Structure 1
């Protein structure tokens, strides 16, 4: 793997059930476990996963359509069911539903026409997050000096 392909974040504990993820550029996201102790507004790790799916595919589709017309509205609702079965805890039934509207005009007509293809291409080839989930990449864990 090259240096250009490496992606990373560091997750640090900031309190009981509270964490902050920091990227190499210094950006941070605070998150935690939904336990009713005031963290309800924080994203949970599963919600971050859903946001990553939606954000990744939204970015792909936005690049493809916005070159033709600026959307009037653009949202992606990502849903799924958290289950626990013989395979352990996991998400099933993941759906990324696009709701995109464009103004009137020739460029907007082109954007509307390519929207379904842009969504398919993101799903089938471009979105690193959903492609990784669908293909099923193993996650290796390690423990430093104990």
Structure 2
């Protein structure tokens, strides 16, 4: 691993069931159990996982296609089923669905040709998030000072 391979976020509790994640660049995102006492909806950790899968592959595909034409529609939906069984709580049947349209024109035709290859390349090689989920990477829980 190189010195620049490490990625990290810090998760801080803000109140019961509510947290804020901060990355090394200072960006933050709030999440929690799904809603708070005032009814403000927040993302759950599972929804953030789905967003990370969709966002990672969306970035890959956008970079590959937008150099040819700016899309008029670019949406990615990620779905899955949350189950609890003898293996514990987990997500199954994850599906990433792209809905992308390009305008008319030569560049757009090239973007339409590149699009399926970009989706495949992202899924098979490029998207760190979905590759990590599919391959399966152990997660170690450590208690500081223990």
TM-score of the pair, normalised by structure 1: 0.96
Match of 1:74 in 2: 74
Q: How far, CA to CA, are the matches of 1:92 and 1:47 in structure 2?
A: 13
Q: Any gaps of 5 or more consecutive residues in structure 2?
A: none
Per-residue deviation, residues 32-82 of structure 1 (Å, max 9, x unmatched) = 012563465110000000000000000000000001000001010000000
User: Contact 1:33–1:39 at 8 Å: present in 2 too?
Assistant: no
User: Contact 1:50–1:79 at 8 Å: present in 2 too?
Assistant: yes
Match of 2:91 in 1: 91
TM-score of the pair, normalised by structure 2: 0.96
Q: How far, CA to CA, are the matches of 1:106 and 1:38 in structure 2?
A: 51
SS of the aligned residue for 2:97 comes to strand
SS of the aligned residue for 1:69 comes to coil
Quote the offset at 1:137 in angstroms.
Answer: 0.4
Q: How far, CA to CA, are the matches of 2:123 and 2:38 in structure 1?
A: 36
Q: Pairwise mapping of residues 1-146 of structure 1 onto structure 2 (< 5 A)? A: 1-34=1-34, 37-38=37-38, 41-145=41-145
Query: CA RMSD of the aligned region, Å?
Result: 1.2
Q: Any gaps of 5 or more consecutive residues in structure 1?
A: none
